[in-house]
Structure 1
Amino acid sequence: MKKIEKVILGSLVVGTTVSSSIVFIQAEKLGETQYYLADNLNMRKGPGTDYISIGTLKKGTIITPLEYSQDKLWVKVKYNNQYVWMCAKYIKKVENSNETDKKLGDYKTKEKLNLRKGPSTDNIITLTIPKGNTIEVIDFSCDNNWAKVNYNNQTGWVSNTYIEKITSQGDNDVSKYEDHITTSSVNVRTGPSTNYKKIGVLSKDVLVKPIGFDKYGDWVKFNYNGKESWICKSYLKKVSDNNTLYTSENVNLRTSSSVNSTKICTIPKNAKVSILSYNSDKTWAQVKYNDKSGWVIAEYLTSKATQNYKLGTTTTRLNLRDLPNLDGKTLITMPSGASIKIYEEKNGWLKVSYNNIVGYCVAVYVK
């Protein structure tokens, strides 16, 4: 009697195993449903550790199951035009529901944050992003634990735990921000407080085109030397006079916001133009000049109160410093033959502007 019971019980166990395997496979569409690797996994010739490993796939790689082993412990996939097996325990289904979708765009770091080559702590750290800095999220990992971001012209991955979406002050609506000019010399920093690193100095009456504000509205984010930077709003005032600006150089008026577009005319230096709009990153301005409308490069527009200057050229590689002496910190090294704006000369030092960075350099190396 006991032998019969064991046979019946064994049949039930086998039946249950086979039945659950069928349900497991029927619950998804083989060859269509996507999974991602929750860890680095070996690719093997067959469904077991007895089979030879022919390589490793990295954590986060997307796979599409084609077949499962009878015990459901191994999954067969196609990779590089060959069929391989890997452990099914470490694959997770890619969720497509709206609940797991995250919004792309600008985020703020809540703590100092490592930028890595890939979406795991196993990947190399390329740099550390300071707390409070703005990053652009362009993608998320399959498990939504990591974000792919752009920061200071570098792309990498950061943990989602330490970032938060920027929603205050309508940061994405850059068109509503009015131009400002500096009311005195002011430091440019990497973030919205005096705790952040100083990366330059703007002199009085320099035009600033805001692209965002901190959540308190005390600091202005703008493009400085090709990077997103911050300046204290206390040292700024709005440009008035019905959005009227002036050209700081001879500048071409074009049919669209591209140097490859057709030139309408050349607007002379110190000409008055009316601002109609800007492109998304405010590098081009649509203006009206003598009843003609077109686009000009925005960096050649300024307020009427711009300081007088003359042009000069460096005769060798030359350090631009924050003070008129050799103890001053080097802000940037200007190449030989660089065109600079010279504002004043004193005791053998020049106050100059290069690539919108204002500082001091030795006069003898400028002609």
Structure 2
Amino acid sequence: MKRLIRLICIGLMLVGGPVLAQSTSPTPVAPSPQFATEATVASVDVYRLNVRSAPSTNGLVLTIIEYGSIYPIVQKSEDGEWYLLQIGNFQGWVSAELVIAANTEDLLSLQEIREQQIQTAVESFLANTFNTVTTTGNLNMRTGPSTNFPIVGRIPEGGRAALVARNAYGTWWQVNYGGLVGWVSGGFLVFSTNTDLSLVPVQ
């Protein structure tokens, strides 16, 4: 009898005792997706571009960047209309419509194409311009009409340039080669057949 009572008491203790909580593993939460873009750099595609403090025209203008300059892309706005660029030691937002975004390799290829297009346009312009010269060898361009002046650039053999000015003796000529202006020795120049030296000012 005592044994039966003892068993009943043990049973009541088990039934009335605290219920242990079942151990469960927490459900993993997926990380929030982050915007990713294949483009890693952006090249400015307008003459001057405002860099703003926020992805909006209401953002303060932090600085202005120039055409052709390239900066790393940090991120893109959620609406895809703005890029956050790393500019020196700070970051700023620019309109996505006013830059060319690409990976570095593609952008360098694009720049080469642009440079070739510019060179072709310059050559076409010079071909139809009076007072042009062609170099007979690689020719240094200098800041003044003498070898004593610093070199500012070089015209390759066969390069075509527009005449800007000449010295009083006609031994040195100031030319414009692809937008770069400098003095070159007249001994390495072939003048175009329609050159009118009277139109070239003396400096």
Normalised-by-shorter TM-score class: 0.3 to 0.5
TM-score (ref. length: structure 2): 0.43
TM-score (ref. length: structure 1): 0.26
Q: Which of these two proteins has the greater Rg computed from alpha carbons?
A: 2
Report which of the two has the higher share of helix: 2
Select the structure with the greater relative contact order (CA < 8 A; seq sep ≥ 6).
2
